[in-house]
Amino acid sequence: MLCAPKLDPDVPTVAVENRFAALFAGRPVILAPMEEVTDALFRRICRRLGAELCVTEFVNVEGLLRGCKKAARKVGLGPGDEPTAIQIYGADVGRLIEAARVAEQAAPAFIDINCGCWVPKIARRGAGSGWLRAPDAMVEMVAAVVRAVALPVTVKTRIGWGDESEMPIVALSRRLEQVGVRALTIHCRTAKAGLRGAADWGWARLVAEAVRIPVVLNGDVRTADDARRAFATTGAAGVMVGRRAIEHPWIFREARSLLDHGAACPDPTVAERFELCREHLRAMAEARGEPYGIRAVRRHLGGYIAGLRGAAELRRRLFSCDTLTGSIAILDEAEPMMRAWHERARDSAEAVAPAVPAITT
């Protein structure tokens, strides 16, 4: 397992604090933690396309402390994989403390505690969003983890557990700040809502107004304009992109262009789309072998080629192939035809575009 150098206990606290503050200085667009998605390879892709900060997959504290290979892989931060935060989840305070100390040795940007995962098999055990059912215990748990490690600790949570008329998130956020949490990511749905319904960004605004620490908005950030509106209307210090990044990691580049320059950037070209398919397939085949590595990329491939003529048939062919050689051959065969169609469509659109009248004086 590739790991970054262990955290130096002699590094002055002020240096750690300055590095953490710098993470939120430029309104980052952040890659969300997603199980079986945000591994080191996908973080590398998203970082190259403009994600200033990434978060690992969810790390189960029990698996990490038992020496589970999967958990160990998740906390392995190799060269260039920075800044990346490690997110841990669990239901037992003591085990969360132990896991935070183990994670700290990988020298992440910070340690994030998952108090927002709504998946029933996790929440029912008291982990993830299950902590929202007992806010007092949640605050005590977070305080204990903060005391146990030298790195900054953050929390990702939801606005509440169920359908309460007044969500607990604002008061809870103040309490979390008081016990030393350095930033909060607010997924603007309840735990019971899961991924249903629209995220209510108003709660992120209320939390940002109630605390002095950075607040990151999560939920329904699907386009560059969504990111722009989120910053403009909520006062968030960062926005986090989840599901949209799986199929369209170019969202980070598009958001940065709009935020930094006020301009939309061009859509990814056909060549870019195909090259990303090849890159991801090759990297996963090397890292995890065949056929597992090939199959693991399928959740991304459909989005990478979305919108291209013939994408449905190409997707069907790719999803029926379990080998790297076969997948690359399919892409190599399809790309020239798709590029030719795209160029014809572009030329046709330019030919029928209305002429701009000359300006006379």
Q: Is 188 a catalytic residue?
A: no
* Interatomic CA distance for residues 241 and 187, integer angstroms: 11
Helix axes of 251-261 and 224-234: crossing angle, nearest 10 degrees: 50
* Secondary structure class of 21 (helix, strand, coil): helix
Q: Which amino acid is at 227?
A: A
Q: For residues 171 and 11, what is the distance between their CA atoms, to the nearest angstrom?
A: 34
- Other beta carbons within 10 angstroms of residue 132's beta carbon come to 25
Question: What DSSP letter does each residue of 193-248 carry, written as one string?
Answer: TTT-S---THHHHHHHHH-SS-EEEES---SHHHHHHHHHHH--SEEEE-HHHHH-
Q: Is residue 23 a contact partner of residue 109, using CB atoms and an 8 Å limit?
A: yes
46, 117, 277, 321: the catalytic one is 117
> What token pair was written down for 239?
């926005």
- Strands 215-218 and 184-187, sheet pairing: parallel
Query: Which tokens in the block code for residue 15?
Result: 């240096």
Token look-up 């309840």 returns 190
3-state SS, residue 187: strand
| Strand-strand pairing, 111-115 and 153-158 | parallel
- Separation CA 84–CA 108 (nearest Å): 6
Q: How many CB atoms lie within 10 A of CB 202?
A: 12
CB 314 within 8 A of CB 334: yes
**Burial grade of 325 (CB within 10 A; 0-12, 13-18, 19 or more):** exposed
Residues designated as active site: 117
